[in-house]
């Protein structure tokens, strides 16, 4: 069995504990794939919960802007929607570290998987002569593109809430004068 020697492969000698833990390279690959799937599912759940919370906040913002009460409507539509926009900004800023942590972990497991596939070419030819994973499927660019929605969403909502807060304040101050 031939192995491709890559830079740094001599630094990571398998210890007897590693061999007992994983058994075969396929066991190691399966472990990496399960970890990637788990973290991707976790990131997806975080994104879904975040988008649900933001959508309810947008609905509450729009409803509060529609207040037409003649006695206190102007003050209400100045303060409450602005506070909701600030809440949206803070919740987006607080959601970002969780998204980032998942991204870092997914990146780590993809790196480990890629290293395994490059260092053990037998893994790629499991059932036939065509590789199980080609460079396009296991490259950093591929999976990172799929994570960009979750990574960009909090920042897009920060911008969105800043625009809405500015709009709310400008509308109310222009109506007051």
Q: Which residue range is the domain that position 49 belongs to?
A: 22-176
Specify the pLDDT at position 118: 77
Does 97 fall in a domain?
yes
> Is 6 inside a domain boundary?
no
Q: Is residue 17 part of a domain?
A: no
Return the pLDDT at 136: 53
* pLDDT of 128: 45
The number of domains in the chain is 1
Q: What HEC string does 107-145 produce?
A: HHHHHHHHHHHHHCHHHHCCCCCCCCCCHHHHCHHHHHH
Judge whether 3 lies within some domain. no
User: Residue 135: its pLDDT value, please?
Assistant: 54
Q: What is the pLDDT of residue 115?
A: 83
Conformation bin of residue 134: beta by default, left when phi > 0, alpha when psi is -120 to 50:
beta
Chunked mean pLDDT (size 10), the chain, 177 residues: 51 56 80 92 95 96 88 84 95 95 92 82 54 54 81 95 93 78
Euclidean distance between CA atoms 104 and 110, whole angstroms: 10
Separation of alpha carbons 22 and 138, rounded Å:
21
Tell me what pLDDT residue 38 has: 95
Q: Could you tell me if residue 10 is inside a domain?
A: no
């Amino acid at each position: 069995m031939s192995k491709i020697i890559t830079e740094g492969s001599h630094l990571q000698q398998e210890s007897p504990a590693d061999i007992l833990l994983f058994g075969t390279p396929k066991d190691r690959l399966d472990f990496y794939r399960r970890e990637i799937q788990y973290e991707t599912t976790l990131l997806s759940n975080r994104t879904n919960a975040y988008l649900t919370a933001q959508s309810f906040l947008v609905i509450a913002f729009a409803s509060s802007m529609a207040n037409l009460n003649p006695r206190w409507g102007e003050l209400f539509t100045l303060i409450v929607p602005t506070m909701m926009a600030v809440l949206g900004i803070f919740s987006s800023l607080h959601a970002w570290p969780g998204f980032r942590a998942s991204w870092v972990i997914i990146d780590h497991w993809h790196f480990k998987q890629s290293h395994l596939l490059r260092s053990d070419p037998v893994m790629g030819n499991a059932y036939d002569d065509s590789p199980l994973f080609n460079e396009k499927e296991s490259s950093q660019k591929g999976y990172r593109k799929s994570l960009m929605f979750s990574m960009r969403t909090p920042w897009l909502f920060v911008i969105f809430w800043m625009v809405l807060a500015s709009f709310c304040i400008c509308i109310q101050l222009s109506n007051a004068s």
